[in-house]
Amino acid sequence: MRRREFLTLPALAAAQNKLAADFQRPQYHFLPPANWMNDPNGPIWWKGRYHLFYQYNPNGAFWGTMHWGHASSEDLVHWKHLPVALAPTPGGPDKDGVFTGSAAIHDGVPALIYTGVHPEVQCLATSDDQMLVWKKYPANPVIAAPPPGMQAAGFRDPCVWREDDGWYVAIGSGYKGVGGTALLYRSDDLVHWSYLRPLFSGTLNPEASKKGPVAAGEMWECPDFFPLGGKHVLYVSTEGTAKYWVGRYEKQQFHPESTGILDFGGYYAPKSLADAGGRRIVWGWIQEQRSVDAQKAAGWSGVMSLPRVLTLRRDGSLGMEPAPELAKLRGQSRRYTKLPAQAPGDNLEIACRLNPGSAHEAGLNLGGLEVRYDRVFRRLSVLAENRAREGHLALPPGEPLDLRIFLDGSVVEIYANGRACVTERIYRPRPGNIDISLIAAGGRPRLESLEMWEMQPISPDRLTT
Ligand code: DQQ
C-alpha cells in the first residue's frame, strides 16, 4: 500500500479552500471532504439518524486503498462527516482493500459485513452504539470462499437482511462462461454461514466478454434485495449499469416478473435502506466523466446521488422519485408561463411539464445538455458533452412529459414522470446562468408549467469539513 502523505496545516487549509471554491463540486449532493469515493456502502437508519458509508480512498482522487468513509444525517439532506469506519488491516483478510458491503443490527449491535480482497472473502465488523468505533471480528473472514466446486467469476459485495428464521446474505458472483449470479447464504449470528443456492442468475453477453466479466454480465456486483409493495426487488450492477427485477421471493428463490434499469446514466452500485417509516431509499455512485488526470488535479472524484424513494407501480415497474425532504433546500420559487432564455444560476431544481402535442420529439436544452422524449420510439434520451444515453419511457396519450431536473455544480440528475432516471455530468468552464431552449421535432410541444428553485447548499464549504 502507498504510504499516506500527511499535509502540513497551511497546505491542508489551501487544499480545502481550493475544493470549497471549486464551482464544479456540488453544493447539495453528498460527497467526501476530499479524494475519491465510489459505491455507497451499508446505508442504515439507526437511532434517529441515517448512516451512509461509502468506498473511499484517503490517498487521493483515484481508485485504490479502499476504506469505508462514513457520514450521518438526521434529515436525509444535511450530512455530517464521521471518522473513517473501516481501513485495511495489514496482514488481515482485508489488507488489500475493504470493499463493498452492507449493515445490520444484530441483537442491538451494529454490524457491517463486507468483502476483503486478494482473495475475495466476506468479513464482519461490529461497533458501539454510535457507530463510531468499529472492531473487526478477530476470526475474519466469516465466509472464506465461494461454494466448493464453483468456477466463480468473482465473490463480493454482500447484501444482508433479516427473515423470521435468521440472517441471509446475497453475494455478488458469477459462473464463469455462463453469467452473473447472487449467491444466497443463511446464518443465525452473522458469523457462521451456510450456503443455500443461487438466489437468481443471468446470462452473459458474449459480445462483451473481451471487456471483462463485469462488463459482459458474467459477474454481478453489489446485489441489493428487499421487499417492496408486496413483491421483492433485486438489483445488481453489471454491464456498466444497475439492472433491476421485481418478482416473487418463495422458498429462498427469486422469481422475477418484470425488469428495468434504475438509471440510464453514469450511476452505479446503488444500495438502499428501509427507514423508520418503511420507505425504501436508494443512493448510487455518480461517476466522473472526465480524465483521471483531471480528477487528480481537482482533488476529488465521485459524488453520491440524491436519495431516491422507490415504490412499486401498478404495471410492476419501479417508481423513482427524489426524497421529498429535498424540498427544504428550495429557495425562492420562480414560475414561468413562457420558456425564459436563461435559468437563474446553476444550482437549481427545475420542474417542467411539456405536452408533446403532435411533436414526435419534445424536450429541453439546458446549456448544451439535451433532454428529449421521443413519442414514436418511446424513449428518453440525454445528450451531454458527446455522450448519448437513452432508455425506455412510454407515455400513454394524454400523459405529458414531467421532468424534474437537479443541477448541482457538474452534476445533473433527471427524473422523468416518476419512473425513468438519467444521471449525467457536465463540466462547464465557468459558473453562471444556463441558457434554455425548447427541443421539438415534427410539431410544437406546449409548455404546461415551469418552475425553478435555486437550491440552498447543505454546507458552507462544499462539504470539505
Ligand atoms: N466497487 C467495489 C467492489 C464492487 C465495485 C470496490 C463496484 O466491492 O464490486 O471499490 O463498483
Q: Which domains does the chain have, with CATH numbers?
A: 33-322 (2.115.10.20), 331-455 (2.60.120.560)
Q: Minimal CA–CA distance to 36: which of 89, 97, 102?
A: 97
Query: pTM for the complete prediction?
Result: 0.96
Residue 393 Cα to ligand 1 middle (Å): 29
Atom number of ligand 1 nearest to Cα 268: 11
Compute the distance between CA of residue 133 and CA of residue 127 in angstroms, rounded to an integer.
5
CB count in 10 Å sphere of residue 279: 17
Residue 66 Cα to ligand 1 middle (Å): 9
**Can 107 be counted among the known catalytic residues?**
no
Atom number of ligand 1 nearest to Cα 115: 8
Long-range contacts of 15-20 (CB under 8 A, 24+ apart): 15/299, 16/461, 16/464, 16/465, 18/299, 19/299, 19/300, 19/462, 19/464, 20/461, 20/462, 20/464
Residue 38 Cα to ligand 1 middle (Å): 8
- Cα-based distances in Å from 39 to 187, 227, 302, 319: 25, 22, 9, 22
- pLDDT tens string, the chain, 465 residues long: the values are 444 556 788 888 888 999 999 999 999 999 999 999 999 999 999 999 999 999 999 999 999 999 999 999 999 999 999 999 999 999 999 999 999 999 999 999 999 999 999 999 999 999 999 999 999 999 999 999 999 999 999 999 999 999 999 999 999 999 999 999 999 999 999 999 999 999 999 999 999 888 999 999 999 999 999 999 999 999 999 999 999 999 999 999 999 999 999 999 999 999 999 999 999 999 999 999 999 999 999 999 999 999 999 999 999 999 999 999 999 999 999 999 999 999 999 899 999 999 999 999 999 999 999 999 999 999 999 999 999 999 999 999 999 999 999 999 999 999 999 999 999 999 999 999 999 999 999 999 999 999 999 999 999 999 999
Grid cell in block for residue 333: 420559487
Atom number of ligand 1 nearest to Cα 100: 8
Write down the catalytic residue from 39, 224, 346, 374: 39
Residue 114 Cα to ligand 1 middle (Å): 11
Ligand 1: residues with CB < 6 A are 38-39, 55, 66, 99-100, 115, 156-157, 221-222, 237, 268-269
Region of residue 415 (left: phi > 0; alpha: psi -120 to 50; beta: else):
beta
Atom number of ligand 1 nearest to Cα 66: 10
The one-letter code for the residue type at 242 is A
